[in-house]
Amino acid sequence: MAAEKLKELTGFTLKDLLPHRGDMLLLDDVFEVDAGSALAEAVVGESFPMAGEGGVPPLIMVELAAQTAGVCNGLTRIKKEGKDSSRMGWLVGVKRAQFSVDSIALGSRLLIRSENSHEFDMLREVSCMVHLDDVLIGEITLQLIQA
């Protein structure tokens, strides 16, 4: 379970780092996290937004990238401002997104890596890569601002 693995790495859970709850929390595990990067896993399920018989559209990778970026940037917020900080979550803009698949099958195990490529005060530019079975299927560049 992601909360246990993440807690092992950082002392915090996904609910401490991300505002997402219920079906909108798409990450299943976090393997690595530090102040500037994170490596997470998501298994595509029927409860995913836009899920259908054919799986999910590749657009879901944008949300997975944003949540993975939120893990490391949420950790930075907590370390600076404390666990009870009211500034939770980031406003996210998509600067660039390139997908090499038309859909992602239910049950697919995705690995998502995010890295802060630029940081200035409460602004971030984040480069993200999504892999399926060691094949790069998505590259996303996000722009974040702390709400």
pLDDT digits (tens, 9 = 90+) for 19-55: 778 888 899 989 999 889 999 999 999 999 999 998 9
* Residue 1: predicted pLDDT: 45
* Residue 4: predicted pLDDT: 63
Put simply, whether the predicted model's pTM sits higher than 0.85 gets the answer: yes
* Residue 3: predicted pLDDT: 53
Question: What single letter denotes the amino acid at residue 1?
Answer: M
Q: How far apart are CA 42 and CA 45, in angstroms?
A: 9
Q: Please, are residues 38 and 69 in contact by the beta-carbon 8 Å criterion?
A: yes
Read off the tokens for 143: 């722009």
Spans of the chain, pLDDT less than 70: 1-4, 7, 9, 85-89, 147
> Which domains occur in the chain, in start order?
2-146 (3.10.129.10)
Please count the residues of the chain: 147
Phi, psi of 134 (to 5 degrees): 65, 10
